[in-house]
Amino acid sequence: MSIFKGAGVALVTPMKENGEVDYASLERLLEDQVANGTDAIISVGTTGEAPTLDDDEHLDVIRFCVQKVAGRIPVIAGTGSNNTAHAIMMSKEAQAAGADGCLLVAPYYNKATQEGLKQSFSAIAHAVDIPCILYNVPSRTGTNILPETAAWLGKNVENIAAVKEASGNISQVAELIEKAEGSLDVYSGNDDQIVPVMSLGGIGVISVLSNVAPRFTHDMTMHCLEGDYGTAAKEQLKALELCRSLFCEVNPIPVKAALNMQGFAVGSPRLPLTEMTDAGKERLRAAMTEFGIL
């Protein structure tokens, strides 16, 4: 059974001026997302700055999200690592905290073989009882989870339930869905490819766009699920410049700037990420204004 269908938000982690996690702002974001129809919260993934949160902070944010969402929608915890033992520990802790699933990014930097990916993801999934979503984002990790690897995992490991596909390669997505033969749910990992991925059989998106336009993103996915691809395609095209602007600098730099413009006070990213450039902010502000969310 699917963890969720529709639009899951890859939620930012708000920071105070001193760099600490801002839980008051995080609660406000969570309530805004639930109120605007978001179908799942993805806590402490790439957009949530997982690489620069220590383990205690990381797990505290997951616990906070689970507590505040209180079962209204699923909370999926980012627990992947390039250290399989560390990913197992984090996934167990996320399950203990009440998370509804884990998001497992492909091991980064190590450049594992496809066999290494099979063994690593299998070990993590076997250590927990909650569903696991594989996260394929070769542009960040240097490793591509090939369709045959993901399909093998979906067919042979019971609680590997889905893939967040952010390769940007729509042919790979089609091949993945073909080879998986229904053993995996597929979520778009790219906001500019929501409708194409769902037209091939995907069931939703794990979205950066949802941070700033949650109702719009949810509605786009619902049109797809209802078979109204004509309306969904128009919405996808309407959002393209906003999507481009949200990725004109490294994520989550732009989305944090966008939320600050909207009055959510999420602060700056932690180093080595920096504040958005003035030129980037100008482009982003123009796109948000044109889109109607500023």
Active site residues: 135, 164
User: Residue type for 151, please?
Assistant: A
Tokens of 215: 């109702």
CA distance 125 to 154: 11
Residue pair 64/26 in contact (Cβ under 8 Å)? The answer is yes
Q: What share of the chain is helix, strand, coil (3-state, %, to 5)?
A: 50, 15, 35
Beta-carbon contacts of residue 69 (< 8 Å; ≥ 6 apart) = 30, 34, 41, 75
**What is the rounded distance in angstroms from the CA atom of residue 223 to the CA atom of residue 199?**
11
**Count of C-beta atoms within a 10 Å radius of residue 129:** 10
CB atoms closer than 10 angstroms to residue 230: 8
d(CA 21, CA 2): 31
Burial class, 102, CB count within 10 angstroms (exposed 0-12 / middle 13-18 / buried 19+): buried
Unique residue bearing structure tokens 């990381």: 58
The DSSP element (H or E) to which 26 belongs, if any, is helix 23-35
